[in-house]
Amino acid sequence: MLKLASKVGGQKCSPIFISHLKLKYMGSVIDYIECPNCKTEATSDFYYKTGEEYINCGNCGYHYSATIKNRNKKLNELTDEDWEIRELKHPYAAYRIKSYESIATECGSLESEEQLNELKHEVSKLDTIEYCSVSRFVNGEIVVEEIIDNGPKTDSAGFTEQDR
């Protein structure tokens, strides 16, 4: 079954692979770079204490991560084998999910059409989803597909759907 990315606070997007380890080493620099796949803006999240890096593109789903596998070693004792490099060079899509229960929007990458279908199936079963969309890079263009758009339960003036 498809695992949705873990939720992180704020506006930051987390790749599908991110683990809880990230919490241990807070302090990162967020930068905007050109996505190697679709050439639009991607985010680079660089952890200056450890040298770990995550690159994510919310438009095509490109993902790159360089993380430390062995956390028992000191940083200056790490060799190439202690690092895990992951790259999703040819992503199928990027997804975005906002649920009513969370203030954060969840983002991640899909590797195949099969995963997209699973995602659609999963979110269709939930009644807590406010918004869900996928974005793909197809024939040189970014194509966004809205899967669910229920709108906020309370609007900016504090009215609920029933009041309006």
Residues that bind Zn ion (CB under 5 A): 35, 37-38, 57, 59-60, 62
- Choice between 95 and 129, CB closer to Zn ion: 95
- Choice between 18 and 129, CB closer to Zn ion: 18
Question: Are the C-beta atoms of 106 and 123 separated by less than 8 Å?
Answer: no
Rounded least distance, CB 109 to Zn ion, Å: 10
Rounded least distance, CB 135 to Zn ion, Å: 9
Q: CA 44 to CA 55: how far, in whole Å?
A: 4
Rounded least distance, CB 20 to Zn ion, Å: 26
Rounded least distance, CB 51 to Zn ion, Å: 23
- Choice between 44 and 102, CB closer to Zn ion: 44
Which string of DSSP letters, residue by residue, matches 65-120? EEEES-TTS-GGG--GGGEEEEEESS-SEEEEEEETT-SSEEEEEE-SHHHHHHHH
- Choice between 39 and 153, CB closer to Zn ion: 39
Q: CA 60 to CA 129: how far, in whole Å?
A: 22
Element (H, E) at 123: helix 113-125
What phi and psi values does residue 121 have, to the nearest 5 degrees? -65, -45
Rounded least distance, CB 63 to Zn ion, Å: 9
Q: CA 107 to CA 86: how far, in whole Å?
A: 17
- Choice between 59 and 99, CB closer to Zn ion: 59
